[in-house]
Structure 1
Amino acid sequence: MFTDATFEQFQETIEGLTDLSTGTVTLVTTTLVLSAALAYRQLCGKTDHGKIPPHIPSSIPFLGQAVSFGTSPIEFLLAAYEKYGPVFSFTMVGKTFTYLVGSDASSLMFNSKNEHLNAEDVYSRLVTPVFGKGVAYDVPNPIFMEQKKMLKTGLSISHFKNHVSIIEHETRDYFERWGSEGKNNIFEALSELIILTASHALHGKEIRACLDEHVAQLYADLDGGFTPLAWLLPGWLPFPSFRKRDRAHIEVKTIFRQAIQKRRADPNPDDDMLQTLIESTYKSGRKLTDDEITGMLIGLLLAGQHTSSTTSSWLAFFLAKDKDLQVHHQNAIPRLQALSCMSNGNIRPTSAGK
């Protein structure tokens, strides 16, 4: 008989294989999703066996290379590359994964058409429980392309200019709470800060006003849904991370719907991403539903958060360990501000140098 404790123990065992570091977890999740997997099999389904990539054998049924890959993903892939070349396959948890290593090999996937690769089959199980039904990889590709265009419309130059003051305000408020000295986790801090700035700039003031510690935890629970477990196993299984993800999804959507209704009732709405989505229509003339808008807003926030927080953290680490580099950039700020003032207002100077 399977109990909650059984599923929790199984989740900890599987996810513990890849819980070596934040960077390794990110690498494993990303490589799982970006591997050709089902896509490459579909593309090569009609070819003869002589053209099928070499398959790494395993004596363990079903699990295959899950343990070897999970414990040392980088070493595993490097060894496979050395032995089998830039294209190779292996089995994990009943699925065949094909890796295309390097620009020449990976061009097969990145230059192929969606009808051949069918990204929905690869991504849907991972992202639909987080973003929700009716958006992204839960819909046919032409509809997803229309949704992307709507988001692109909201990411305009005029909106970006308005974001500068928002980012500056959120950043100052956040770091003022730190005081003049002490210790903190820069990666966690920048992740929190990016959530605050992205929520304010991309979601609007109504949703930003709702962002407290509880909502921040809901975001974290949603983000916790992006795991290898979610990609490999059915979403209805009662794993703790699945339950947290699903509860957070329901609650976040409720908060977002209330904010959308408040915005619809505003006679003088802000010109921002939220308003862009409210006013957007498909080619058919149909407007986005509130449920579609909430799903797109969740996706917009979480899709870029990892890249931004990781890149920002690396920048901070490099600055922190190099005093000369800190001085160089501090001295450069007044000069850049002067150049900004000479550009007829095309670049808005901030007071970051103070």
Structure 2
Amino acid sequence: MSDAKEYQQVVTDTLNKFKKDYQNLSKINIVIAGKTGIGKSTLINAAFGQELAETGIGSPITDKINFIQAEGFPVQIYDTVGLEMSAVSQWKSLHAIKELIRSKRKTETEADDIHCVWYCVNASGSRIESQELKYIQQFQKLRIPVILVLTKSFSRVEADKLGAEAQRQLPSLEFVSVLAKATDSQGAFGIQELVELTANKLPEALQTSFSSAQKASLLLKRKQGVKVINSSIAATFTTGFVPIPVADAPLMMATQSTMLAKLTVNYGIDPKTNQIETAIAGALGIFAALSAGKTTVSAALKSLPGVGTVAGGLISGSVGGAMTGALGYAYMNLMEQVALGKVDLSAMSSTQLTELLTESINQLTNQFLNK
């Protein structure tokens, strides 16, 4: 197979790998409890960056629980009703949630479980009702992570006081004061903190799914992205204990391929609305060109230990790791710009993206060398 065909095959395989991983993200199940009118829909939409509460398909599980899901989206919401009504209605709502949690645990699949409860209380009230603290305690007894979400926190100081009082009565309870939608006089806050706290409660196997789904915290996406890059660097280094001839560089590209696919999934880039293939082709093109000694990357990158001597020689573990790391961080920066809406992949050619990634690599390398 010619070098061009082999390279194109790697690009195609990477694209297919990304689409498969994106479609097969594990599901995360969150119960959102609280009285009507406390801003649950606004909270959901702010956390996940889309009108999920409005556009998601809602279907009643019981008369007390409504199930919200969107096609291809890994987070599933169980929204409860009836907590503001009579004592009998409240008991039925609590019973329905507890039965839901128990029924989900009957399967052996971790993705079927209820993974977290967001218990929402309107922070503009003067107190948290003792009955609501009892509900929270019931969920805690079922060993479900519970986060008290103080919505409509127009006064963060007062909201934090309410949360501190709840913690005094339930010491293990964690809370977040949130203003999900900005007002004329105050900016939104708390959503990023809520998302990051929720991520810490989830099993490791679900971290990628949640990082991909949430849109409130770039920090969370970066942390997950760094894990992917470090793992890829380690894999490349291990491969390089037996130095690979430059002519066989596509063999090492399998690691970069997996890394690029995982980074793209991590940033929640929808393949239906983004020209992902050009980004992948541009990124892999840098590695292929550098290996062949044809790269336009400046001398800054070649100043990394061993990289400047690749052409015509061998790719060792340290060299491959340096190249993989540089490529990974540059691609992660690109995905971040796409997620923020600052880069439109569909409007750029593979060559333009290669130049953009090259510039990013040079900037990252200069930062590394100037430390």
Fold in common (TM above 0.5): no
Taking structure 2 as the reference length, the TM-score comes to: 0.25
Higher strand fraction: Structure 1 or Structure 2? 2
Higher helix fraction: Structure 1 or Structure 2? 1
Whichever of the two has the greater Rg, that structure is 2
Taking structure 1 as the reference length, the TM-score comes to: 0.26
